[in-house]
Structure 1
Amino acid sequence: MKKTIIIVDDHLLIAKALESIINNFPGFAVKGVAENGKALIEKLQTSEEKPDIILLDISMPIMDGFETAQWLRKNLPDIKVMALSMQGDDQSVIRMIKYGAKGYMLKNTHPKDLEHALSKLSSEGSFYPEWAEKIIFSTLNGDKNDKELKISDREKEFLSYTATELSYKEIAEKMFCSPRTVESYRDQLCEKLGLKTRVGLAVFALKNGFAES
């Protein structure tokens, strides 16, 4: 049985192009298109059959991808959400992970890579492209606890802020220290965990209970 998909994108030409591409993937079928999160919710609430996957743009009017992902996580957590966006910055990735997205792809990806991503998402429950997988998940094997890693209380506090939208300067204000001290926490944790970016720190924090999802 084919996995069903709803595409959420405010650019109709892009959505229709994606629909045509995906309908040529063996094992997948697009069952609808919505122009924003609000339109998606209305579609879901009036349909008895729910899709397996929602391919979700981020930047949209009325109700964007962040708000939509939050609603889906709360109301329909069994539906797998994959972000498909032009935004590849750290903050966007962090927020979508925090709000429950199980995959993240850029719109300039090759159709074959998109097919691969959807297949992995369906079979394994999540998928991130190689650039994110190497940075984020390479060391998140779950077999090290905070004692083995010797994460200090202040580093734990810093980790709790990494999955937020706060800048490092704002985190420093919250922690009543200087931005340079916050940067030292970041550098120390990256070295301990073998990570390179805030995205990786945020995912580690979320997966290990240092930050709220």
Structure 2
Amino acid sequence: MKNSIVIVDDHVLIANALSSIISNFNQFEVSYICENGLELQEKFKNSRIPDIVLLDISMPIMDGFETALWLKNDYPNVLVMALSMQDDEQSLIKMIKNGAKGYMLKNVHPRELESALNIIVEKGHFFPAWATSKVLTTLSDDGIEASSKIKISDREKEFLKYTVTEMSYKEIAEKMFCSPRTVENYRDSLFEKLELKTRVGLAVYAIKNGYEE
């Protein structure tokens, strides 16, 4: 039986093109297309609940961030894969915080999309290489168990809380009443302790371990 997918994207041509591409995948089929999160909510009342929601971020009425959070709260078993033109870390972090289990850019090759869909079904998550492979480790139970043994100071925990926000490191320093250099020291220390290389990695770790606001 094929895994069912719903596409949520206000760009009709893109959504239809994406549906056509997915129709050639062996393990997946598109059940229906919605133009925003509100339409998805209405569809869910009378239609089959899909295995995966391919979700655009920038949409009118109800955007991807709101939609992902609604799915997280009301349909936690649905796998949310963000498919966006936005390649910044803050969008990725916010989508992860709101429950997305995957994130891909719209310029991805069809073969990469099929591979990503297979991975998210098999492992429960898929994130791009720029999120670093270690981020995926923190999403697993083994990763969480191992990371719980790492000693993190109270100030480092406070810093982790702010990595999930949209604040710059300078703004985090002001919030923590310390210098930017001190904040950089917290960051570098956590990079070493957690074997991470990016803020995305720190943010995912903070979310999975309950350090976010």
CA distance in 2, matches of 1:114, 1:139: 23
Shift, 1:156, TM fit: 0.8
CA distance in 1, matches of 2:137, 2:197: 11
CA distance in 2, matches of 1:34, 1:71: 15
Q: 1:184 to 1:22 in 2, by over 3 A?
A: same
Identity %: 65
> Match of 1:14?
14
> Match of 1:136?
135
Amino acid in structure 1 at the alignment position of 2:209? N
Alignment of 1:114-125 (within 5 A): 114-125=113-124
Q: 1:145 to 1:135 in 2, by over 3 A?
A: closer
Amino acid in structure 2 at the alignment position of 1:16? N
CA RMSD, aligned part only?
A: 1.7
CA distance in 2, matches of 1:179, 1:6: 44
Shift, 1:111, TM fit: 0.4
Shift, 1:62, TM fit: 1.4
CA distance in 1, matches of 2:10, 2:152: 43
For normalisation by structure 2, the TM-score amounts to 0.91
Amino acid in structure 2 at the alignment position of 1:163? V
> Match of 2:46?
46
Tell me the secondary structure at the aligned position of residue 152 of structure 2: coil
Q: Would the aligned equivalents of 2:25 and 2:114 in 1 still touch at CA under 8 Å?
A: yes
Alignment of 1:181-200 (within 5 A): 181-200=182-201
Q: Would the aligned equivalents of 1:158 and 1:171 in 2 still touch at CA under 8 Å?
A: yes
Deviates more, 1:96-105 or 1:187-196: 187-196
Describe the superposition over 1:65-112 as per-residue Cα deviations: whole angstroms up to 9, x where unpaired: 101101111111111100001111110110111111011111111101
CA distance in 2, matches of 1:67, 1:188: 33
For normalisation by structure 1, the TM-score amounts to 0.91
Amino acid in structure 1 at the alignment position of 2:22? I
Tell me the secondary structure at the aligned position of residue 25 of structure 2: coil
Q: Would the aligned equivalents of 2:132 and 2:201 in 1 still touch at CA under 8 Å?
A: no
CA distance in 2, matches of 1:103, 1:145: 22
CA distance in 2, matches of 1:96, 1:144: 25
Q: 1:12 to 1:145 in 2, by over 3 A?
A: closer
Amino acid in structure 1 at the alignment position of 2:211? F
> Match of 1:4?
4
Unaligned runs of 5+ in 1: none
Alignment of 1:1-213 (within 5 A): 1-47=1-47, 49-134=48-133, 136-137=135-136, 141-145=143-147, 148-211=149-212
Q: 1:63 to 1:139 in 2, by over 3 A?
A: closer
